[in-house]
């Protein structure tokens, strides 16, 4: 989405800078958050939203949320992502079909925001999900408005209820509901009149229609290109009509995106759909998490964070802890852990992302970590199960045999054994932490 390009670029720079550091001081976090704040303001995000957002992220970043499976920079990215999702509404918000059918969705909004186009898009979306919608042309202010909806209906082979220019919206709507029953459609989508600006007469007309139609959805169609104006418009419509949802149109445009990032937080009304083009199929349900990851521009990193947490934090950490406690953690386990890690991707890439390892990795030539891992693996594989479980029995002759078997030297075997013992000791003392740190001990002396 062109809309967030510049914001994404700025945020990426901030995180890149953070990522190049090992440990983060409070000042590092503050500096980064200052830049995040500026980037959001430049993207035209509402200043209150920015203030709230930054303070939530700061609080969590300096708080006690220590996760050993992530680097400090990754932890901040994770927090920013989660708070971005929260700002955008948390979970996906679906259409509500309350009461008996036909369910009514009333589309309201300013002139030119995309109501008529969106009515057709929504009808098509509903049909794709197995519903039977009827479109209603209740915008009686211009003959062209009725004609526009009728034409779209023909294009989509979708029923449209319309009357001659001049009929009153309330009469049109009353007769449209009978028509819906006659056609056995289960949704009625009402395209209402707009104005260039909010005015009292419009609000009264819409409020009266709402009382009459008892819609399960009152959806404000608002142009995301209008920035902070969109937020203002949404607040006013919501205070008069108690909106149930927002549809942001023209998200394909190259505005700065501030409206999209502010409107939910300011109004409390969920964004339900977005329009991403002029064509009738350029329309999607709104997913806060997808937009957040698009804005952050680091889908891969977020996937990694999720995977790493799942792998290390839960299952593995528990098993390891148990083994360490009962002192049965052997080289076999170590090998299994190494293999588990490899499943997640190329080792060099992973090492970059693993806490503690990332700094060390920076000092190594490319491929060195992979090389090291192969050595460790070869050595452990050349041991007997007994040796793996109890490395203390490995004497000089066993060491030479293992070296021959792995094609390496007895010194290499010693190195691996020493580091394993160090790791084991640290783990028993409870300061080695979870696997990634233990792994660090295997590769690099401290």
Ligand X SMILES: Nc1nc2c(ncn2[C@@H]2O[C@H](COP(=O)(O)OP(=O)(O)O)[C@@H](O)[C@H]2O)c(=O)[nH]1
* CB 189, min distance to Mg ion, A: 13
Token duo for residue 97:
């079909």
Q: Which is nearer to ligand X, 226 or 249 (CB)?
A: 249
Helix (H) or strand (E) holding 103: strand 103-108
Name the residue with the smallest CB distance to Mg ion. Answer: 116
Q: What is the dihedral of CA 338, 339, 344, 345, to 10 degrees?
A: 90
Partner that binds at residue 103, options ligand X, Mg ion, none, CB closer than 5 to 8 Å by kind = none
Nearest CA to 252 out of 233, 219, 273, 274 is that of 274
One symbol per residue from 103 to 142: x for binding ligand X (CB under 6 A), - otherwise; what is it? ------x-xxxxxxx-------------------------
Q: Please, which of residues 225-264 interact with ligand X by CB under 6 A? A: 249-250, 252
Please tell me the distance from the alpha carbon of residue 378 to that of residue 67, in angstroms, as a whole number.
Answer: 31
Token duo for residue 389:
């479980």
Q: Which is nearer to Mg ion, 76 or 149 (CB)?
A: 149
Confirm or reject binding of residue 405 to ligand X (CB under 6 A). Answer: no
* Residues 362, 364, 365: CA angle, nearest 5 degrees: 115
Q: Which is nearer to Mg ion, 69 or 116 (CB)?
A: 116
Q: Which is nearer to ligand X, 121 or 440 (CB)?
A: 121
Q: Which is nearer to Mg ion, 58 or 125 (CB)?
A: 125
Q: Which is nearer to ligand X, 265 or 283 (CB)?
A: 283
Confirm or reject binding of residue 285 to ligand X (CB under 6 A). Answer: no
Residues that bind Mg ion (CB under 5 A): 115-116, 145
Confirm or reject binding of residue 153 to ligand X (CB under 6 A). Answer: no
* CB 257, min distance to ligand X, A: 14
* CB 305, min distance to Mg ion, A: 44
Please tell me the distance from the alpha carbon of residue 84 to that of residue 76, in angstroms, as a whole number.
Answer: 12
Q: Are 179 and 134 in contact (CB under 8 A)?
A: yes
Token duo for residue 91:
């979970």
Q: Which is nearer to ligand X, 109 or 153 (CB)?
A: 109
Q: Are 387 and 399 in contact (CB under 8 A)?
A: no
Please tell me the distance from the alpha carbon of residue 162 to that of residue 315, in angstroms, as a whole number.
Answer: 60
Confirm or reject binding of residue 276 to ligand X (CB under 6 A). Answer: yes
Q: Are 358 and 70 in contact (CB under 8 A)?
A: no
* CB 278, min distance to ligand X, A: 4
Confirm or reject binding of residue 169 to ligand X (CB under 6 A). Answer: no
Q: Phi and psi at residue 252, in whole multiples of 5°?
A: -80, -10
* Residues 413, 417, 422: CA angle, nearest 5 degrees: 150
Select from 169, 194, 215, 330 the one that contacts ligand X (CB under 6 A).
194
Nearest CA to 257 out of 78, 434, 9, 68 is that of 9
Residue ranges binding ligand X (CB under 6 A): 109, 111-117, 194, 221, 249-250, 252, 275-278, 282
């Amino acid at each position: 989405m062109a809309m967030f390009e510049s914001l994404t670029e700025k945020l990426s720079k901030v995180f890149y800078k953070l990522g190049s550091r090992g440990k983060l001081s409070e000042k590092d976090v503050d500096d980064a958050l200052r830049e995040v704040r500026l980037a959001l303001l430049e993207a035209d995000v509402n200043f209150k939203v920015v203030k709230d957002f930054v303070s939530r992220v700061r609080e969590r970043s300096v708080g006690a949320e220590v996760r050993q499976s992530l680097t400090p920079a990754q932890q901040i990215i994770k927090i920013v992502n989660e708070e971005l999702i929260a700002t955008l509404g948390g979970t996906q918000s679906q259409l509500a079909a309350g009461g008996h059918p036909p369910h009514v969705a009333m589309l309201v909004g300013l002139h030119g925001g995309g109501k008529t186009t969106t009515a057709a898009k929504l009808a098509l979306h509903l049909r794709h999900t197995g519903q039977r919608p009827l479109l209603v042309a209740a915008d009686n202010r211009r003959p062209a408005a009725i004609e526009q909806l009728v034409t779209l209906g023909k294009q989509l082979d979708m029923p449209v209820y319309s009357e001659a220019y001049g009929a009153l919206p309330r009469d049109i709507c009353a007769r449209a509901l009978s028509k819906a029953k006659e056609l056995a459609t289960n949704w009625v989508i009402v395209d209402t009149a707009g104005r260039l600006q909010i005015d009292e007469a419009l609000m009264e007309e819409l409020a009266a229609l709402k009382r009459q139609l008892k819609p399960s959805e009152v959806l404000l169609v608002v142009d995301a290109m209008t920035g902070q104006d969109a937020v203002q418009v949404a607040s006013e419509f919501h205070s008069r009509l108690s909106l149930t949802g927002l549809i942001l149109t023209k998200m394909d445009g190259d505005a700065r995106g501030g409206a999209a990032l502010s409107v939910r937080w300011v109004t409390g009304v969920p964004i339900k759909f977005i329009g991403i083009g002029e064509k009738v199929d350029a329309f999607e349900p709104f997913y806060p998490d997808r937009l957040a990851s698009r804005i952050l521009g680091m889908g891969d990193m977020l996937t990694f964070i999720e995977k790493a947490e799942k792998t290390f934090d839960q299952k593995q950490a528990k098993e390891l802890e148990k083994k360490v406690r009962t002192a049965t953690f052997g080289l076999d386990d170590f090998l299994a852990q190494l293999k588990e890690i490899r499943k997640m991707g190329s080792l060099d890439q992973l090492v970059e992302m693993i806490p503690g390892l990332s700094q060390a990795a920076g000092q190594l030539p490319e491929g060195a970590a992979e090389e090291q891992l192969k050595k460790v693996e070869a050595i452990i594989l050349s041991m007997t199960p007994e040796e793996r479980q109890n490395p203390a029995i490995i004497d000089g002759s066993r060491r030479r045999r293992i070296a021959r078997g792995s094609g390496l030297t007895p010194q290499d075997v010693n190195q691996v054994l020493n580091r394993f013992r160090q790791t084991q000791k640290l783990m028993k003392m409870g300061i080695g932490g979870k696997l990634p740190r233990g792994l660090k001990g295997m590769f690099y002396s401290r």
